[in-house]
């Protein structure tokens, strides 16, 4: 597993934990920062995970609006918590991280959904992110 894939998983964990615990993302991020400080071998994945989470926080309103717009009948509150985290990361990578090609962001999100969520989630994530990527500038 690449360092970026591990970082995405850490970012999912942070966003998911904040949602489940009904705490702020900053609180969840602080807890993960403490853990990261005690595990120097995982520093490479921590840095990108933090970039992702900071990016999602910075653009949360726009990201959530896109999810609501493109999810066709699904509200954010109706989606599985893990799917919300995966979609937020995927959208951030597509729209705000020029270092990640759209296809890579989508593939990584779909793989995460296959492993972490419901049987239908991978198709849902793929379709939603694919529609968003079609409207985004190419990298």
What local confidence, expressed as pLDDT, does residue 26 receive? 82
What is the rounded average pLDDT of the residues 113-139? 91
Q: What tens digit of pLDDT does each residue of 47-75 get?
A: 899 999 999 999 999 999 999 999 987 88
Residue with tokens 């520093």: 43
What is the rounded average pLDDT of the residues 111-124? 95
Q: With a cut of 70, say whether residue 138 has pLDDT above it.
A: no
Domain holding 104: CATH number? 1.10.940.10
Domain tally, the chain: 1
Percent of the chain at pLDDT > 70 equals 97
Q: What Cα–Cα distance (Å) separates residue 38 from each residue in 31, 43, 135, 138?
A: 11, 10, 41, 38
Q: With a cut of 80, say whether residue 40 has pLDDT above it.
A: no
What local confidence, expressed as pLDDT, does residue 74 receive? 81
What local confidence, expressed as pLDDT, does residue 73 receive? 79
What local confidence, expressed as pLDDT, does residue 88 receive? 97
Q: What tens digit of pLDDT does each residue of 69-110 get?
A: 999 878 898 999 999 999 999 999 999 999 999 999 999 999
Domain of 48, in residue numbers:
3-135
What local confidence, expressed as pLDDT, does residue 139 receive? 52
The tally of CA atoms less than 13 A away on the side-chain side of residue 34 is 5
CB 55 within 8 A of CB 90: no
């Amino acid at each position: 597993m690449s360092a970026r894939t591990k970082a995405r998983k850490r970012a999912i964990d942070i966003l998911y934990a904040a949602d489940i615990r009904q705490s702020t993302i900053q609180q969840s991020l602080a807890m993960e920062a403490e853990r990261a400080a005690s595990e120097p071998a995982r520093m490479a994945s921590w840095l990108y995970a933090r970039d992702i989470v900071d990016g999602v926080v910075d653009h949360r309103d726009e990201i959530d609006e896109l999810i609501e717009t493109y999810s066709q009948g699904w509200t954010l509150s109706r989606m599985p918590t893990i799917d919300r985290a995966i979609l937020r990361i995927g959208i951030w990578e597509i729209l705000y991280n020029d270092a990640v090609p759209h296809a890579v962001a989508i593939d990584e999100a779909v793989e995460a959904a296959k492993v972490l969520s419901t049987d239908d989630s991978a198709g849902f994530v793929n379709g939603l992110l694919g529609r968003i990527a079609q409207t985004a500038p190419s990298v």
